[in-house]
């Protein structure tokens, strides 16, 4: 089969699209309609996003350039060209981030009594408090490292806070050293709260770096400190596991994790007060180019400021807390299995509670009629209640099978820990399929029940667009479906068989599964809409996802647009498709929603001449999701629930006029303009689906987390 050559002009670049997304997140920090402490939180989210961007995406580009890779991506740019563009735009974005912090947010916070006193204006009382803190908390755990032939430049951990010290004089042994490195203790907070009576303000914070700066001379007695400059290095953090050579995936991943902290340097952040000679010295140590150095006007890690909103008791400067609602079927009965026998239950997080999912598994553990529980785990957290429940189930003698994805980026250590604990109590732990990340979100419960014909085994299931992670279920938008539909449960059982055993993929009745059928099914659904449009029948595509990158699918969307299909795409992050081009994509509109919650749902709606095909999915429209992962797209069959998904998960986003960004053909975004009263989709859904309008909760939902799968 000859592979079709696709025109580079049809595609936008992935890395540049990711930076565009971070510009939209940064715009939330500049938006005066967003509560002030949440604006600070959005600023820190950008820093976290950029950390991962450099650790993975920029690191990958640098590796390709180093290896002399000339092959271009779908947009036609070579790795070297993309790296140059990404570097230039990253410098601009980071400079704007610090400008916003220093010129806008810090003055606004100060007006509200939230201050960050600088060393040069500390009062005598503040200096005394800082000194006491330094000698009590900091000095005992610091290890200054003088640089000389016996003490070479130390191994600097990825993203750790460090200080380059310029010295003059001789030490106790007569050694003449001009430089030293001090690594900030990882156990200490980077932002320390100063008592109000000392600060003279209700909420005051001092940076750990400022405390060390003020007393760094205590570390080098008898020598003169000429300069103290904070810096931070970001390293390549992508894991490399040779899938053809490994014999034990867990051991291979554990081995690679040891090297993650010391991968090749890709970025150096340096306080702009640092001397040119210090910058040159560090640049040489980390083998970086001048363009890889980011001189910043403030702390070298703004993500550490995320601690501040949680320490400031000012509800008026935060998003109002809310109490997630419960679906009516589960409010009517405490028997979750009886509720599912009556019909499917749809959950829309975070507006509706994640508790029914936990209760579904917990009830399965305590119910003596349940004999088996199977579940996939991609991201679940280090303190997961669900994992603890599964461990209890195995202890009680239930047949527990857990497919744990060990290669879930930045969650590998947590997942290895849960895998070990599950194995210790006799659970069947499977590490998925080598070469294909298990990204599907599914759980299956097998229960022995009575019937007129005698005892039978009945299956119940949960499928979702998001992870089994209770904390992110309060911060990400996702759909979950609880069902006892026999055909869907049979499909899920087949997928588990594929994951845990050996054999060919079976034909499924309802589920679209990667890497076998999902790509083909989506392509066919798009082609069907194009055919219907040509026949003059009702044809429309509305899809919501985190990213759209797969070239063949993009080409099919272009073809559908040319056939007259109206296509509405809600893409939170990067989109390689060019919308609104005459003769190519004039019938395609792309929008992005950025707000309080991180948009994470994947919903695909094909009008199908009025028959309305609606699928929820764990997969974005990306090559990795279609071909290198185990993913599920599952239908919503109940007509009422299908209508609800269309209304809440798609149409509400098309009606939004407050949080929407409209994409142009060149990959730029502008806020949606409107002459009507502004409608914010997330606020509307909060008001519709929570038990009461924005009730106070002991665990208020925060702004969106940096990234998700």
DSSP state of 345: E
Provide the strand spans (E) within 27-87: none
Q: Which H helix or E strand runs over 357?
A: helix 355-366
CA-angle at 665, arms to 661 and 668, nearest 5°: 45
Query: Would you tell me how many other CB atoms lie within 10 Å of the CB of residue 485?
Result: 21
Which candidate in 439, 462, 469, 615 is catalytic?
439
Q: Which H helix or E strand runs over 482?
A: strand 476-483
Phi, psi (degrees; rounded to nearest 5) at 164: -95, 120
List b or e across 634-657, with b for residues whose CB sees 16 or more CB atoms inside 10 angstroms.
bbbebeebbebbbebbbbbbeebb
Q: DSSP labels for 329-342?
A: HHHH-S-HHHHHHH
Query: Would you tell me how many other CB atoms lie within 10 Å of the CB of residue 390?
Result: 30
Which two three-digit tokens encode residue 280? Answer: 């040159």
The label of the residue with tokens 């989709």 reads 681
Rounded to whole angstroms, the Cα distance separating 703 from 597 reads 6
Rounded to whole angstroms, the Cα distance separating 294 from 74 reads 29
What totals of helices (H) and strands (E) does the chain contain, helices first? 23, 27
Rounded to whole angstroms, the Cα distance separating 354 from 469 reads 9
Which two three-digit tokens encode residue 605? Answer: 């709606």
Q: Which H helix or E strand runs over 278?
A: helix 276-285
List b or e across 673-709, with b for residues whose CB sees 16 or more CB atoms inside 10 angstroms.
eeeeeeebbbbbbbeebbeeeeeeeeebbbbbbbbbb
Rounded to whole angstroms, the Cα distance separating 234 from 90 reads 14
Terminal alpha carbon distance of the chain = 33
Which two three-digit tokens encode residue 221? Answer: 């007695």
For the question of residue 439 being annotated catalytic, the response is yes
Residue pair 468/377 in contact (Cβ under 8 Å)? The answer is yes
Residue pair 384/418 in contact (Cβ under 8 Å)? The answer is yes
Phi, psi (degrees; rounded to nearest 5) at 131: -60, -45
Cis geometry, peptide bond prior to residue 515 (ω within 30 degrees of 0): yes
Q: Which H helix or E strand runs over 47?
A: helix 36-52
Phi, psi (degrees; rounded to nearest 5) at 97: -60, -45
Cα-based distances in Å from 486 to 49, 450, 629, 659: 41, 16, 25, 40
User: Pick from 227, 219, 226: which is nearest to 171 by CA?
Assistant: 219
User: Pick from 231, 84, 66, 81: which is nearest to 164 by CA?
Assistant: 231
Helix (H, G, I), strand (E, B) or coil at 513: strand
Rounded to whole angstroms, the Cα distance separating 627 from 514 reads 6
DSSP state of 493: H
Q: DSSP labels for 393-438?
A: HHHTT-EEEEEE-TTSTT-HHHHHHHHHHHHHTT-EEE--BTTBEE
Residues taking part in catalysis: 439
């Amino acid at each position: 089969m000859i592979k079709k050559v696709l025109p580079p002009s049809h595609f936008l670049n992935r890395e540049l699209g990711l930076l565009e997304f971070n510009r939209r997140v940064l715009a939330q920090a500049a938006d005066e309609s967003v509560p002030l402490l949440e604006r600070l939180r959005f600023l820190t989210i950008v820093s976290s996003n950029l950390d991962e961007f450099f650790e993975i995406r920029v690191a990958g580009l640098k590796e390709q350039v180093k290896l002399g890779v000339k092959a271009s991506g779908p947009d036609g740019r070579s790795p070297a060209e993309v790296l140059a563009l990404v570097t230039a735009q990253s410098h601009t974005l980071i400079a704007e981030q610090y400008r916003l912090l220093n010129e806008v947010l810090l003055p606004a916070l100060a007006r509200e009594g939230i201050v960050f006193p600088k060393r040069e204006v500390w009062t005598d009382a503040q200096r005394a408090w800082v000194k006491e803190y330094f000698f009590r908390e900091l000095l005992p755990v610091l290890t200054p490292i003088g640089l000389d032939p016996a003490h070479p430049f130390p191994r600097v951990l990825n993203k750790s806070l460090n200080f380059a010290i310029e010295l003059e004089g001789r030490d106790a042994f007569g050694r003449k050293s001009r430089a030293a490195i001090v690594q900030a203790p990882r156990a200490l907070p980077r932002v320390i709260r100063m008592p109000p009576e000392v600060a003279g303000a209700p909420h005051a914070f001092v940076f750990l770096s400022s405390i060390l700066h003020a007393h760094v001379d205590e570390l080098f007695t008898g020598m003169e400190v000429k300069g103290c400059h904070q810096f931070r290095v970001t390293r390549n953090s992508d894991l490399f596991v040779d899938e053809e050579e490994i014999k034990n995936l867990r051991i291979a991943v554990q081995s690679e994790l040891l090297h993650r902290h010391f991968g090749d340097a890709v970025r150096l952040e340096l306080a702009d007060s640092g001397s040119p000679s210090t910058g040159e010295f560090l640049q040489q140590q980390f083998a970086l180019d001048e363009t890889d150095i980011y001189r910043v006007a403030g702390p070298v890690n703004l993500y550490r400021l995320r601690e501040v909103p949680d320490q400031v008791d000012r509800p008026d400067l935060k998003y109002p807390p809310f109490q997630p609602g419960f679906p009516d079927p589960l409010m009517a009965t405490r028997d979750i299995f009886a509720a599912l026998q009556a019909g499917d239950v749809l959950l829309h997080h975070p507006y509706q509670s994640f508790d029914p999912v936990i209760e579904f598994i917990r009830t399965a553990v305590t119910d003596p009629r349940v004999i088996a529980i199977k579940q996939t785990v991609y991201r679940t957290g280090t303190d997961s209640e669900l994992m603890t429940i599964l461990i209890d189930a195995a202890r009680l003698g239930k047949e527990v099978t857990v497919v744990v994805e060990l290669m879930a980026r930045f969650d590998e250590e947590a997942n290895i820990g849960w895998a070990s604990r599950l194995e210790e109590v006799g659970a069947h732990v499977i590490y998925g399929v080598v070469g294909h990340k298990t990204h599907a979100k599914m759980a299956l419960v097998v229960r022995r029940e009575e019937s007129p014909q005698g005892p039978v085994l009945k299956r119940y299931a949960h499928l979702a667009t998001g992870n089994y992670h209770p904390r992110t279920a309060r911060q990400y938008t996702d759909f979950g479906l609880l069902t006892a539909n026999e055909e869907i449960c049979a499909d899920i059982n087949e997928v588990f068989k594929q994951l845990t055993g050996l054999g060919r993929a079976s034909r499924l009745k309802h589920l679209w599964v990667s890497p076998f059928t999902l790509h083909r099914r989506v392509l066919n659904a798009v082609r069907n809409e194009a055919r219907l449009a040509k026949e003059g029948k009702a044809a429309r595509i509305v899809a919501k996802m985190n990213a759209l990158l797969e070239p063949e699918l993009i080409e099919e969307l272009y073809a559908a647009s040319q056939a007259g299909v109206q296509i509405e795409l809600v893409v939170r992050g990067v989109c390689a498709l060019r919308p609104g081009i005459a003769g190519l994509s004039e019938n395609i509109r792309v929008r992005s929603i950025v707000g309080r919650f991180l948009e994470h749902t994947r919903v695909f709606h094909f009008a199908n001449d009025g028959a309305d095909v609606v699928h929820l999915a764990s997969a974005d429209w990306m090559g990795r999701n279609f071909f290198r992962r185990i993913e599920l797209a599952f239908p919503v069959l109940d007509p009422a629930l299908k209508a609800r998904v269309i209304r809440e998960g798609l149409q509400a986003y098309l009606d939004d006029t407050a949080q929407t960004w409209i994409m142009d053909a060149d990959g730029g975004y502008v806020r949606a303009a409107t002459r009507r009263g502004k409608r914010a989709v997330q606020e509307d859904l909060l008001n519709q689906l929570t038990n009461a309008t924005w009730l106070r909760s002991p665990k208020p939902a925060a702004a969106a987390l940096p990234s998700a799968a």
